[in-house]
Amino acid sequence: MTAENPVTIDPTLLAERLARFRAAAGFTQQQAADAIGVARTTLTAIEAGQRQARSNEIVQLARLYGRTVHDLVRPSAETDVESFAVQFRAARRPPGTTEDDDLRHDIALFERLCQNYRELEALTDEPLLRRYPEEYDIHGLDIDRAAEEVAEAERNRLRLGDGPIVNLWDTLEFDVGLRIFAPPFKTKRLAGLFAFTQSLGGCIAVNGEQPEVRRRWSACHEYAHFLTERHRAEIAIYYQYERKPSSERFADAFAQHFLMPTSGIVRHFHEQRRAKGDEPPTAGDVVILSHRYRVSFQAMMHRLETLRLIPPGAWERLAAEGFRPGEARGLLGLSSLQPERNTVPLRYETLAIRAYESGQLSEGQFAAIMQTDIVGARETVLEYFAGTTIYQDEADSTWQQTALDLNTSLVAGS
Amino acid sequence: MPESDALSPLLLDACVVINFAASRRFEELAAACNGFSIVDVVVAEAHFVRKGGTADDANEREAIVLDGLIDTGHLRVEDAANDEELDAFVRFAADLGDGESMTLAIALHRGHNIVTDDRKASRIAAAHGIKITSTLEVLRTWAMTADPGESEIRRALVDLRERGRYVPPQNHPLRYWWDQHINQR
């Protein structure tokens, strides 16, 4: 291998990535070519797969685009990777949403997590099973009615009944086959992202910085886009619309009906009321009901208002009086909802650990895939795979190591 | 460390830099091995250990600072110097991260030994005839040549474990040595 005989890396894949990463980093061909000291026509030829990139060019371009060389030259199981950056350029988004560095970062992170996931599946030969329904056609229908019908159809399809959805994340991942992440977005007001490609399937990221009830709502909101317009990427940002377009109103209405189905809410509401001797409902009752359904107090108040189970305007009145749902939960002895989802799903983590333990990933690659540093990656392996924990003894503050073998087989003799 | 390799420069990968920093004995280890080399990409990859100790912040990150070791010559920073090394780097990068790839590329072309505990990097290095040493082999070399005393050896291993979260696998050839020293009271 010399500069005269460029390295043998799939030139089509490399060309496609160079163009994709340049676009994601916001450079024109001319800017990128100037930065590495080649003619624009040279870069054009490289990106078109007509000229192989030399090693020094690959290294310089990786640095310029903020990627590793590994990102550029690694083999891929993908054949149809359409850049998320390209998808999101045409995405449905609130007006005035500029593609600043933070949003670009968040989209690139989302794409990387999705591709990592797909590649872990390829390494371990464990594809995520898809149980996708046909897209629902809601054109021309009343939005709230359509949302309720789609939510009910999905609850039936997934055999969820009409009660609270406790394992929302597992349901969407294992019963539907979506890839769902909860990374801490840099864009504070970014609630969620949705994208779809043939090879990755439906992918959702909700802002991990949100409280759990918000994360769940955002996941259902993005799920609605998957169910009705899965080939169109979506960016959801809080409070950006003066008037929400119908697709957004549908997505919110779907989230409401999916998380709080009419029959279940009405039944629980009346059961709760009967238990109190038919006393009028109180704010405390709604706090309990919202906790049971794992939604925010505000969302449950709105739901009860639309079902005419409480007087209209009740939420506004309570808010104006300074009612604090969090404090109310504490007084009622209800703990706040703990996040059920880390940045990456448990299945993703399990596949990554398997790939690392079998020597298919290096420690550095494993850490990068787990979005942590190398020591953090070691902690993950120690605690998860071998059940080994390093802990500080409370009695004498010394560090101890204990092993609890979580991988003990339940099958005798195996 | 095999005696015949003792004079070959030792090139550290990022995981080993973390281990040596975690042990708080980086300088002593370097002195026992006639210094170490490191590639510049690895300098940028080896970010943190944990603080360790008995305070409340024991599990917080502590940045690894290599400047002092570089200034005193205990650690030499190397980088690709020609097209052959750069080509090898890019070729290795198809399989490995950038730091590991550059480490292997430099070792391959300059005849260095690498210090790594990484299974994948070790496998690829061995396939290219690159000689490999491990964290524990370097620590044992230090223990044998510097003779720091039993409590000092144990302290270094405990630091490595609590600050680097490093525990050698059960099938590590020096696991017996680790157990023997870390369990000393």
More confident residue, A399 or B67: B67
Closest partner residue to B161 (CB to CB) among A72, A363, A399 is A399
In this structure, CATH architecture of domain B3-136: 3-Layer(aba) Sandwich (3.40)
DSSP string, B50-76: E--SSSTTTTSEEE---HHHHHTTSEE
Contact list, A390 vs chain B (CB under 8 Å): 161-162, 165, 167
Task: Please state, in angstroms and rounded to a whole number, the distance separating the CA atoms of residues B88 and B169.
Answer: 30
Of all residues in chain B, the one with the smallest CA distance to A379 is B165
Q: Picking from A37-46, A84-93, A308-317, B111-120, which range would have the lowest pLDDT averaged per residue?
A: A84-93
The residue that leads in pLDDT, A246 or A181, is A181
Q: Residues of chain A with pLDDT > 70: what percent?
A: 85
* Cβ distance of B86 and A55 shorter than 8 Å: yes
- Is B13 exposed, middle or buried (CB count within 10 Å of its CB: 0-12, 13-18, 19+)? buried
Contacts of A360 in chain B (CB under 8 A): 120
B49 → chain A, closest CA residue: A375
Which among B14, B46, B83 is the nearest to A2, CB-wise?
A: B83
pLDDT value, residue A5:
38
Provide the mean pLDDT of chain B. 92
Contact residues, chain A, for B93 at CB < 8 Å:
68-70, 72-74
Q: Give the gap in angstroms from C-alpha B45 to the nearest C-alpha of chain A.
A: 9
Contacts of A365 in chain B (CB under 8 A): 96-97, 120
Cβ count within 10 A of residue A69: 24
Residue B163: band (very low, low, confident or very high) from pLDDT cuts 50, 70, 90: very high
Contact check, Cβ <8 Å, B87/A359: no
Residue of A nearest to B14 (CA): A364
Domain extents in chain B: 3-136
pLDDT for residue A105 is more than 60: yes
Cα-to-chain-centroid distance, residue A55: 35
> Can you give the pLDDT at residue A78?
59
pLDDT at A337 over 90: no
Q: Yes or no: say if A168 and A216 are a contact pair by the CB < 8 Å rule.
A: yes
Chain B interface mutation, best of A55, A382, A407, highest count of B Cβ atoms under 10 Å: A55
**Contacts across the A-B interface (CB distance below 8 Å):** 115
Cβ contact B61–A373 (<8 Å): yes
List of E strands, A162-276: 179-181, 190-197, 201-206, 234-237
What is the predicted ipTM? Answer: 0.91
Residues of chain A with Cβ-Cβ distance to B100 below 8 Å are 362, 364
pLDDT at B3 over 50: no
Put simply, the answer to whether B164 touches A59 (Cβ < 8 Å) is no
pLDDT at A389 over 80: no
Coil, helix or strand at residue B38:
strand
CA-based nearest residue to A72, from B14, B122, B169, B97? B97
Which range, A74-83, A183-192, A243-252, A294-303, has the best average confidence (pLDDT)? A294-303
Q: What is the pLDDT of residues B50-60, one digit of tens each?
A: 998 888 888 88
Q: What is the mean pLDDT of residues A88-112?
A: 75
- Give mean pLDDT, residues A363-378: 92
Question: Does A390 sit within 8 Å of B97, measured CB to CB?
Answer: no
**Where is B77: in which H helix or E strand?**
strand B75-78
Q: How confident is the model at residue A288 (pLDDT cuts 50, 70, 90)?
A: very high
* Whether the predicted pLDDT of A290 surpasses 90: yes
Mean of pLDDT values over A256-270: 96
Q: Taking all residues of chain A, what is their mean pLDDT, rounded to a whole number?
A: 86
pLDDT at A233: 79
Question: Within 13 Å of residue A378, how many CA atoms lie on the same side as its CB?
Answer: 22
Shortest Cα distance, chain B CAs vs residue A94, angstroms:
38
